[in-house]
Amino acid sequence: MGGPDSGCWSAPFPGADGAVRTVLVAAAALVDADGRVLIAKRPEGKAMAGLWEFPGGKVADGELPETALVRELKEELDLDITESCLAPFTFASHVYEDFHLLMPLYLCRIWKGQPAPLEGQELKWVPPVRLGDYPMPPADKPLVALLRDYL
């Protein structure tokens, strides 16, 4: 059994009221016909600039993760995706210094359009076995091994 002394215990950093702010972000592993995954490099001026991530974005209050992902992929990459083409794959749960990130990751193999970097980000199609070669935010890193093993 795990416990505080097992090495698996990690307490989040609570705010002044004792609560930890959770941020819900939805992301997609877009997989092309060659089995490559699209990653985007965070542009200068954004938090964690220069790191590579799976496309997606914040889920607004009252919004479903799938709806947010369809919206974000249109805004960021000019892709048209229907919710039915998003297959739930896994999720990341990571405590950063000032918030907790919860990020469902969906697989998507069908969309309309060609990815276009509408927010100044650099895009790359990467074979799953090479995803680990790119520096990523801590929350994204555990997803790489899962994708590599699955794809």
Q: With contact defined as beta carbons under 8 Å apart, do 134 and 126 qualify? A: yes
Closest to 32 in 3D by CA, of 116, 123, 117, 125: 125
C-alpha atoms less than 13 angstroms from C-alpha of 13 in its C-beta half-sphere: 7
**Per residue in 50-92, pLDDT tens?**
999 999 999 999 999 999 999 999 999 999 999 999 999 999 9
User: For position 46, what pLDDT does the model report?
Assistant: 84
pLDDT band, residue 20 (cuts 50/70/90): confident
User: For position 18, what pLDDT does the model report?
Assistant: 65
User: Does residue 2 surpass a pLDDT of 70?
Assistant: no
User: For position 17, what pLDDT does the model report?
Assistant: 61
Q: Where are the domains of the chain?
A: 28-150
User: For position 4, what pLDDT does the model report?
Assistant: 42
- Burial (CB < 10 A; 0-12, 13-18, 19+), residue 24, is middle
Q: Which residues have CB under 8 Å from 119's CB, separation 6+?
A: 43, 75, 76
**Per residue in 88-141, pLDDT tens?**
999 999 999 899 999 999 999 999 999 999 998 999 999 999 999 999 999 999
User: For position 45, what pLDDT does the model report?
Assistant: 83
Euclidean distance between CA atoms 132 and 135, whole angstroms: 7
Euclidean distance between CA atoms 89 and 38, whole angstroms: 16
Q: Is 127 helix (H, G, I), strand (E, B) or coil?
A: coil
Closest to 86 in 3D by CA, of 114, 128, 55: 55
Per-residue DSSP letter, 7: T
Is the CATH number of domain 28-150 3.90.79.10? yes
pLDDT band, residue 15 (cuts 50/70/90): low
